[in-house]
């Protein structure tokens, strides 16, 4: 491994290449000002203080209003801020993949969030579900795979955890890869008492990635899952 020194900084060319930087991108980085390592992080304490919490609305989801202060990068504390946050619990989603058929089991359903935003509010998505109290992400995934797609997960492995929209929503997504037999998937599913009307679609990986490339996938969790699959194609059947 070749180590390059720039000012007080040291880095390796392979480390940049690993994260997708081209040779020319790396060369350009050599001409950027270097911040010495001991100056990159101030002694700021990552602290915040909740002064007040109120429920603005309680329906299927909760909308809360907070008054708070937090530490500043330049030192000290912020003024008292008012922030609203949608609290809808946490969820789990899964890339249902049949590596033998090189196919994915996906679902299509109507989404109120897409109304007035997209021309077609029926979205093609990964199987997903909200975590109930005391329920693990893995339990959610196995339940939802049966309820929404009618198939059993043969093997399950974690991909990532991420906040869906941290600027105003507390929801965290637990994303998984699940190996399935796509031959048993199909039909129309969903819980009638929840008003669900879900159609299962089995698509090849090439078709799904083509839809992603064409901008036809609008669900953020699905975008992340398909991008992960594209990066790990050929190795994801080890789940």
Task: Please check the confidence at residue 36 and state whether its pLDDT lies above 90.
Answer: no
From 15-19, 162-166, 202-206, the region with the lowest mean pLDDT: 15-19
**Residue 90, Cβ neighbours under 10 Å: how many?**
17
Q: Which secondary-structure segment (H or E) carries 123?
A: strand 122-125
Averaged pLDDT score across all residues of the chain: 86
pLDDT of residue 196: 81
Task: Please check the confidence at residue 121 and state whether its pLDDT lies above 60.
Answer: yes
What are the structural domain ranges in the chain? 3-39, 48-87, 91-238
CA distances from 104 to 30, 70, 126 (A): 43, 44, 9
Please give the average per-residue pLDDT across 18-27, as a whole number.
46
171 included as an active-site residue: no
Q: For residues 68 and 92, give the distance between their C-alpha atoms in angstroms, rounded to a whole number.
A: 29
pLDDT of residue 2: 47
Task: Please check the confidence at residue 205 and state whether its pLDDT lies above 90.
Answer: yes
Q: Pick from 124, 139, 145, 103: which is nearest to 237 by CA?
A: 103
Going along 30-77, which residue ranges are E strands? 48-58, 62-70
The pLDDT-based confidence of 144 (bands split at 50, 70, 90) is very high
pLDDT of residue 189: 86
Q: For residues 226 and 153, give the distance between their C-alpha atoms in angstroms, rounded to a whole number.
A: 18
The listed CATH number (3.90.79.10, 3.40.50.720, 3.10.400.10, 2.60.40.3880) that belongs to domain 91-238? 3.90.79.10
Place of tokens 């109930």: 132
More confident residue, 193 or 238: 193
Catalytic, out of 194, 196, 213, 216: 194
Task: Please check the confidence at residue 223 and state whether its pLDDT lies above 90.
Answer: yes
- Residue-wise pLDDT for 79-101, tens only, equals 999 999 999 999 999 999 999 99
From 23-27, 134-138, 170-174, 175-179, the region with the lowest mean pLDDT: 23-27
pLDDT of residue 175: 99
pLDDT of residue 42: 57
Q: Which secondary-structure segment (H or E) carries 145?
A: helix 137-149
Task: Please check the confidence at residue 27 and state whether its pLDDT lies above 50.
Answer: no
- Residue-wise pLDDT for 151-185, tens only, equals 999 999 999 999 999 999 999 999 999 999 999 88
The pLDDT-based confidence of 34 (bands split at 50, 70, 90) is low
The pLDDT-based confidence of 24 (bands split at 50, 70, 90) is very low
């Amino acid at each position: 491994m070749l180590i390059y020194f720039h000012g007080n900084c040291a880095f390796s060319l392979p480390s940049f290449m690993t994260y997708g930087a081209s040779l020319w991108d790396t060369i350009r980085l050599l001409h950027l000002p270097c911040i010495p390592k001991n100056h990159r992080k101030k002694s700021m304490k990552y602290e915040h203080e909740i002064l007040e919490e109120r429920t603005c609305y309680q329906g299927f989801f909760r909308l809360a209003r907070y008054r708070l202060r937090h530490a500043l990068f330049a030192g000290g504390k912020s003024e008292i801020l008012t922030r609203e946050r949608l609290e809808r619990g946490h969820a789990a989603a899964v890339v249902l993949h049949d590596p033998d058929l090189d196919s994915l089991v996906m679902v299509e359903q109507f989404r109120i969030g897409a109304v007035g935003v997209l021309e077609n509010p029926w979205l093609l998505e990964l199987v997903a579900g909200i975590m109930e109290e005391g329920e693990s992400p893995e339990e959610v995934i196995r339940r939802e795979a049966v309820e929404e797609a009618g198939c059993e997960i043969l093997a399950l492995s974690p991909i990532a955890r991420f906040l869906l929209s941290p600027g105003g929503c507390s929801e965290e997504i637990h994303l998984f890869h699940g190996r399935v037999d796509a031959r048993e998937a199909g039909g129309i599913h969903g819980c009638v008492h929840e008003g669900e009307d879900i159609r299962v679609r089995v698509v090849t990986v090439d078709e799904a990635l083509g839809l992603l490339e064409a901008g036809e996938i609008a669900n953020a969790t699905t975008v992340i899952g398909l991008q992960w699959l594209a990066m790990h194609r050929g190795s994801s059947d080890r789940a």
